[in-house]
Amino acid sequence: CASKSRAAIEKDEVMEHCKFNIRKGAHWPFEPSHACCQVVTRSVNLLAICNAFTAADLAQINLQRWAAVTRSCGNALHEGDNCAGYIVHF
């Protein structure tokens, strides 16, 4: 684990704790879990998490929902940010 970057570790936490909110096919509306929001609010670089998403992650998740989760948790990606190819717009 020591060889993993902080962003990769946080990305793994996002995939674990936010998976029910950001997976493709998840139902709206949703309320991110406390554990999910803890990961989001603790993160100092959400774009680094975006860049850490792998092709396998991206096949499972909806980046628009990820952006919505960051906003809902109070540590939003910024409008215009490029998150793994998804341009954030609110």
Map out the domains of the chain with their CATH numbers: 6-87 (1.10.110.10)
Indicate the pLDDT class of residue 29, thresholds 50, 70 and 90.
Answer: low
pLDDT in tens, 30-53: 789 999 999 999 999 999 999 999
Asked if 10 and 47 touch (Cβ cutoff 8 Å), the reply is no
- CB atoms inside a 10 Å sphere around CB 21: 24
C-alpha separations of 20 from 4, 33, 36, 44 in Å: 24, 9, 10, 23
Q: Which of 67, 68, 89 is nearest to 80 (CA)?
A: 89
The half-sphere exposure of 86 on its side-chain side, counting CA atoms within 13 A, is 19
Query: Against a cut of 0.75, is the pTM above it?
Result: yes
> Which pLDDT value is given to residue 38?
97
